[in-house]
Copies of this chain bind each other. A is one copy, B any other.
Amino acid sequence: MSQLLQDVVGELQKLPGIGRRTALRLAMHLLRMEPESVDEMTRSIDRFRHDIKHCSRCNNLSDSDICPICLDRERDQSTICVIEQVADLLSIEQTHQYRGTYHVLGGVISPMQGIAPSDLKIDLLCDRIAQGGIKEVILAISTSVEGETTLFYLMSRLRQFADLKVTTIARGIGFGDELEYVDELTITHALLNRRPLE
């Protein structure tokens, strides 16, 4: 096997979900691409890895010190939606329903994985609220055990801000879910939080 091919297959396997076969298929695809197009791709990867920053306010990925969402005066800067990771921000943005700001924790508390509250951007969140002007914090954290732990920890930390409204996103049956296959905890939540028909 060619050394160049062996190298590229080995390197592509560093990526998650890419095994030997897929790496090989990707390598063959690279050969069918224009060299300029491959150059563009590798350049964008290098630029991304070296130049990307974290917003010093909300910890979102950003090209500059403060991210465009935090700078956007059209958005409601008094509302913060707290999320685990940047991917969650993108999912929420795609709904076009939320016009507030975000705060990216960078994970959830997980004693198993050795992630303590101090490893997350919780102090940064508290500092941000302490500066004033924040009316509501929406906690949009996963419903996993780690997520719930993080939620309770956040609630205890946020209790210090007397006038702050703290909410969590609704738990319930997702659209398209069949009741038959939904777990008991979700059904319990959905029943307890039932709403009158409007």
**A positions within 8 Å CB-CB of B:** 1-5, 7-8, 10-12, 14-17, 22, 24-31, 33, 35, 37-52, 60-63, 67, 85-87, 90, 93
Partner of A11, one of B7, B10, B40: B40
Neighbouring B residues of A44 by C-beta, 8 Å: 4, 7-8, 10-11
Contact yes or no, B2 A29, CB < 8 A:
no
Contact yes or no, A14 B1, CB < 8 A:
no
Neighbouring B residues of A48 by C-beta, 8 Å: 4-5, 7-8, 27, 30
Neighbouring B residues of A63 by C-beta, 8 Å: 2-4
Q: Which of A37, A44, A67 has the most CB of B within 10 A?
A: A44
In the A-B complex, the 5 residue pairs with the smallest Cβ-Cβ separation, listed nearest first, are: A42-B42, A8-B48, A11-B41, A11-B44, A38-B49
Partner of A33, one of B25, B35, B38, B49: B49
Neighbouring B residues of A60 by C-beta, 8 Å: 2
Secondary structure type dominating chain A contacts:
helix
Instruction: Report Cα–Cα, A33/B35, bound state, in Å.
Output: 25
Partner of A45, one of B17, B38, B47, B93: B38
Neighbouring B residues of A4 by C-beta, 8 Å: 44, 47-48, 51-52, 61, 63
Instruction: Report Cα–Cα, A70/B45, bound state, in Å.
Output: 36
Instruction: Report Cα–Cα, A100/B25, bound state, in Å.
Output: 24
Contact yes or no, B85 A1, CB < 8 A:
no
- Min CB gap A141→B, angstroms: 18
Neighbouring B residues of A16 by C-beta, 8 Å: 25-26, 29
Contact yes or no, A31 B7, CB < 8 A:
no
* Besides the known contacts A12-B41, A16-B25, A30-B49, 7 further A-B residue pairs in the complex with CB atoms under 8 A apart: A2-B61, A4-B51, A5-B61, A11-B45, A31-B52, A35-B50, A41-B45
Contact yes or no, A2 B52, CB < 8 A:
yes
